[in-house]
Structure 1
Amino acid sequence: MTKGKPKKKSKGSPSKSTSSSTLFTKSNLIFLVVIAIAGIIAFLPVIHGEFLNYDDELYITQNQALTGFDLPALFSGYIGNQYSPVAMSIMAFEIKLLGLQPGGLKLISIMLHLLNGLLAFVFVKKLIRRDAIALLVSALFTVHTLQVESVAWLTASMKIGTYSLFSLASLISYLNFRQGNQRVQYILSLMYFLLAGLCKEQAVVLPLLLMLIDYFQGRKWFSRPALLEKVPFFIIALGIGLATMRVAGDMRGTGTALPYSMLERLLFACMAFANYAWKELLPVHLSTYYIYPPQGEIPGYYYATPFFVLAVLWLLYYTWRKGWKLYFFGIAFFVVNIVLTLFSQIFSVRDVIMADRYVYLSSIGFFLCLVQLISNIADTKNWNKKSVYLAMGVYALLLTGLTWQRSRVWHDTITMFSDAIDYRNAKGYKGATPTIALPYSNRGLAKKRAGDLEGAMADYNAAIQANPGYPTGFLNRGNLYFLQKKPDLAIKDQNRAIELDPNNYLAYANRGAALASAGQYDQALTDFNKSLSLQPNFQDGLSNRALTYYTMGNNQAALNDVEQYLRINPGDANMQAFRQEIMAKMQ
């Protein structure tokens, strides 16, 4: 086994004599079963969770192309701000098989995560040919607390889980190709990469990972044959990048540009990178929604994080100069897989400063370095290797407990966004944090649906106070006023929502409903028409316009809207009964 002494050519290089060349030995299978059981226990609370009002509606429950298993529609256009047709097609198949039930879908999410944990073992085993390290990396990947967001949140699992699955399959196929020079494995690697890219744009960096494999295996990665092999991969990556660039903006934006300079954005990216590394080691103080600090209240430790980034870059250079290939590979694997999210942080400030899901796949590189480092230290200090691995197993067991606890936070929209709000409040910021408006507004909507109207109003007011330029806050509060039979206040809030977002079809439809309730039918029809011009298949808009036409005595127009509604949603019994009522009146 490699001792990691400086005189060695490659610190942490694989030693073929310490492991069987067989992938799934009896002992490996036993340990993998134990890892799977630990993973199931860690994520068990996820099964009892609900759909979340945080993109689950946009991408899943109200995505008619997905729930209707309309594969051509999924491949022919963007959904929200993503082009993920393969990921959504897989979810569509799951829904067709199980129905729109969160429990069953989340069980599949857990199984997908366990499969990715297995592929992590296969990848590391084939790469370094050391069973113990491959098993420990797989265990840490499977039970780590940072993985909860990517498993418990169906929208994230749908894209992160599947892109990681196909990325790992592509890397494994490439390793098979390199070991046996089988052209079919090269084609499989290329095919899996394409599928990964059609699940999530983060897969675009995979050609760089292939070059890292070449480097680790001692191949001249810049040689003509090696580069020619990568050309098809880079062509696919270019296509993925162009498709991603066509998507403008973020559907979950707050409506107000965040007032940070370019230097502050660079600082936030450095902080995110440092926090990712720290939380991989010790996953505490997590949040479902990491908010930005107010202007003028950037914590002092943020300013130290650029030095951490420089230290990591120096470490990359140092490990390369020393020929410590495994460390270089692991660090580079971690960096490459999150670099795009850091760049997007700089050039297009998101609503959150970081997100746990972004390190789902990259964590393999971190864990590989961590396990190898401890193994090398144990060799240097002449520690009992079995005791060291047992200690790491205990660490994995502790992570299992933390993950089980964290999984409960993602149970529903209220628990999820309460966690985000508590995280913000614990920071003790004095100034405004505009991005907290979304958690307040979404939690308020969940409270409204649960019948807690007073709590919902308090959250809507908090959202508007945090960010007066957030249209959804006014839209949701206006809906609540409408429910409370206060049409004047409802119309006022919807007016403000439209001022902030003139193309918000929901605000027009909501204002139309409030106007109709106040007897202003002509103005209501104008708003319904505008809403449906922006979103022609909006079911609530069609049903409300049909009801308004019916109230005004225009039965034919009402029937036309009902017929269009039923073409979209033919199983709606209430609308079927309404159609019969209209037709009876027309006779």
Structure 2
Amino acid sequence: MKNLLFIITILSIPIGIIFNLFDIVGGNIFLALGFLGVFVFYLIRVIKDFYSIAYKKIIVLKVMIILMSFCLFTKYLYHLFGDYPSLIIVPVFLLSSIIYLLTERRKQTKLSLVTILYLLLSIPLFGFEFNNSPRHYIPQSWYDRYGETSHYIVSFDFKFDYPETKLLNEKAFDLKEKQLYYDAIEVYEEARKLEPKNLSLLFELSEAYARTNELEIAVELLDKAIIVDSSYSEFYNNRGLLFYKLKKDEKAIIDYEKAIELDPNQPVYHANLALVYFYQDTFDKACEEIQIAESRGFNLSDSKILREFKDEQCN
């Protein structure tokens, strides 16, 4: 009976991953039960082995499996509180598991099975990408807070006071399109010396700074643009996106609502607002904004998170 329960626990983990790969409801439940089962099983084993001389040698690996159950749970279910502990736990587990597999002559079947499984589950933590892949060992948000975005940007017909400013703006824009963001910033800043309140420069420079991870500076630039002219909904939408990336959800909501007030027919604004409500667990409002976004023409297939949320939570 114990062996059967152990097998079911172990199988729950790959089943959960497969369910998530194919967007089948319940994948996270299987993962959570699997990791919890392994955690409890080896916690009991470590307590028993502590008083056994025969198993003192491999008790370190069992302790690491307990800790890895915690780390993998947080990584595969996208909980942030496991990021910093994983910096220490994952390397120690990798080292202890390799030593065990290469040097231990009397290997335990269950321990070997879990060790190999956890080694395989550790591979995606180091950059291997697939659908619903786990949080990486070094999460992207640590070095790229802006990330891939679905913000809404249009071409503005902003005027320039001097032809030199317009030429610099065009040069900087080309650099930004080539992802040479630091070079683009230098040119934009040079242009700002000529026209410090030019809306085009403030807007495009904000985007360039965001791409270099300087989100706070990007917000300040949009602040200045809004002071100059508060009639552009795109300014509020982009600033809302930056606040969202900075974990300032309340400010993001205020900006998205202002963008909607200025342009209620833009579906992306409603979709962005729905995303913030989703992460705040305000599901009723999220569903309402999704419905409005779709009625305005938003394609829900463009947002996997909102699509899955609607299927699971919205009637």
Normalised by the size of structure 2, how large is the TM-score?
0.45
Normalised by the size of structure 1, how large is the TM-score?
0.25
Q: Which protein is bigger by CA-based radius of gyration?
A: 1
Kindly indicate whether structure 1 or structure 2 has the higher relative contact order, using CA contacts under 8 Å at least 6 residues apart.
Answer: 1
